[in-house]
Amino acid sequence: MQYEKTKLIIIGISTITGVVAAVIVLIAVNASFLKVPDNPPAKAMSAPKAPAPGPLAALAEPDYKAITERNLFRAKLQVEIPKPKSEKEIEEEALTAIVKTMALKGVMLSPRKRDNYAVIDLGGPKGVWVYEAGDVIERGLTVKEIRKDSVRIEKAEFAIVLKLFSSAYERSQAPRMTAERPSAKPAAGKINVEKDIKREGAVTRISKSLAERLKSDNTMIMSSVAVKPSPEGVKVVAVDKGSIAQKMGIAPDDTLQVVNGHKIGSGEDMSTVYDSLKNATDFEITVLRGGKPETLRYQIR
């Protein structure tokens, strides 16, 4: 009996000792875990490799500068929208277009300035006209001053100077600027007026070849005749010697009144008449010569 009690005491002490040892081991293990950091040291971690350059790498980071320049809220147009022109700018452009075709062909001076004349080629079918100071050329452009080598033309603040024998005009108000006239058309082949224009009785015959050339270039006639408005029509001031106009019977001091039923009194009228004659084979010109009307008849053959 005594032996069994001793055996139970020894077993109890062994059990308690085992439990205590187990508790000590568990405490030691927990302490070791507490010393382990949550993350490994930075030096132990290898840095991630940068992505290789390429199309995908370029798309990885947005180019905010490019996005800003594209201006997604107000896309830029290929061409800028022009600023609306003022009435003054529109008027000046129209006047400039008229002046560009002008050329001063000559001046006639007198001891009295009011008797001075300027011979101005208006260009194209408008022809050559003679003006005094104060005469209106077109669209309010007025001859203000005639000098020995130039003429001043004005409309309100727009003012230019045409110079004799010059292919340019000059703005007379600051800033000064010049603009070249369009280059003249190349001269056509020489015309034999004796062959192409013949007087037969009361009719002047014009060859078809010359008529075709006149249809395409009316300046062949208009640039050889200087005219000016008059109460009776359009007065011829001068005719170039040997020109087509002279061969057709047009003479200085004639006053052109009617062409094929169309009354004329201005450059615009002459342009209308010229257009109406493009398909004509016969036409007449009524002139006032020596105070009496006279009819000049023409045929294209």
pLDDT recorded at residue 74: 46
What are the structure tokens assigned to 8, written together? 């139970």
d(CA 60, CA 73): 24
- Residues 196-214 as b/e (b if ≥16 CB within 10 A, e otherwise) read bbeeeeeebebbeebbebb
Q: What is the mean predicted confidence (pLDDT) over 92-102?
A: 90
Q: What is the mean pLDDT of the chain?
A: 75
pLDDT recorded at residue 209: 86
d(CA 219, CA 77): 45
- pLDDT tens, position by position, 164-221: 877 778 887 534 444 444 444 444 455 677 788 888 888 999 888 888 887 777 667 7
Asked if residue 125 has a cis previous peptide bond (ω within 30° of 0), the answer is no
Q: Could you tell me which CATH number the domain at 87-179 has?
A: 2.30.30.830
Most confident of 25-39, 73-87, 98-112, 134-148: 134-148
Q: Please, are residues 298 and 203 in contact by the beta-carbon 8 Å criterion? A: yes
Query: Which residue in this structure is represented by tokens 């005749």?
Result: 225
Count of C-beta atoms within a 10 Å radius of residue 90:
11
Where residue 67 falls among pLDDT bands split at 50, 70, 90?
A: low
Q: Please tell me whether residue 297 adopts helix, strand or coil conformation.
A: strand
Alpha-helical regions (H) of the chain: 2-35, 55-60, 64-70, 87-100, 193-196, 208-216, 219-222, 244-247, 267-276
pLDDT recorded at residue 221: 75
d(CA 62, CA 49): 20
d(CA 4, CA 57): 84
Q: Please tell me whether residue 228 adopts helix, strand or coil conformation.
A: strand
The top-level CATH class assigned to 193-300 is mainly beta
Q: Count H helices, E strands: the chain? A: 9, 17
pLDDT recorded at residue 38: 52
- Ranking 42-51, 75-84, 85-94, 167-176 by mean pLDDT, the lowest is 42-51
DSSP string for 210-221: HHHHHHH-THHH
Half-sphere exposure of residue 292: CA atoms within 13 angstroms, side-chain side: 2
Where residue 6 falls among pLDDT bands split at 50, 70, 90?
A: low
- pLDDT tens, position by position, 103-161: 988 888 877 767 788 889 888 778 888 888 888 888 889 999 998 889 999 998 899 99
d(CA 13, CA 130): 147
Percent of the chain with pLDDT over 70: 64
- Ranking 2-11, 43-52, 78-87 by mean pLDDT, the lowest is 43-52
Where residue 80 falls among pLDDT bands split at 50, 70, 90?
A: low
